[in-house]
Structure 1
């Protein structure tokens, strides 16, 4: 496991940090669009600062050499995207075992697989279980 988000190779957080240094939106990642209650364009339904706080809080829980917890203000992100805290932590800790490919709601992953011409949705049961 990487010591910092900047060192976490092949992750969206690393790509976002590198792009932010140059004031750019990383290619092939949805932008942050803010509060889900508003009628906003397609994108992630929370602010970049909230995302960074969630990554930081999660890292502090996972790493043995750090102390931390998901702060109430950060937990709002999980509430906004309908992921219970215990599910978030389990998915984060066991991600490689739970998913092998795209991750999201079954509907989103099915659409993604269809666009790629795939005939089967891998780990559909995980999508149903973790994205309720």
Structure 2
């Protein structure tokens, strides 16, 4: 008998006792879901209809627009950490803003920053006000 078998048995028993796993092999998080998990958002992003940072075009103009918006956002100390971390995706002058922000005012402020940036033709504001 391997010395590892008792350790594996002990580990499995602890997981069952703490609720990290069930006898059926599913984890507690899989069974009831976790609000921090973002599964719905991740599934939405997989469909291809929603832009993600990987969709950022690599042409010089779009990269410069994104860099200018990002710098303006991060330089604004009145904005929250969430706003500073908003996703900025530029494709052919069209900017998409995504992610959580702390208030409707921040959502509006980030949109204004993007609209005032030279080279921007349109802003798709998909920012979400974080529930408190």
TM-score of the pair, normalised by structure 1: 0.26
TM-score of the pair, normalised by structure 2: 0.26
Greater RCO, CA 8 A, separation 6+? 2
Which has more strand, going by share of residues? 2
Q: Which has the larger radius of gyration?
A: 2
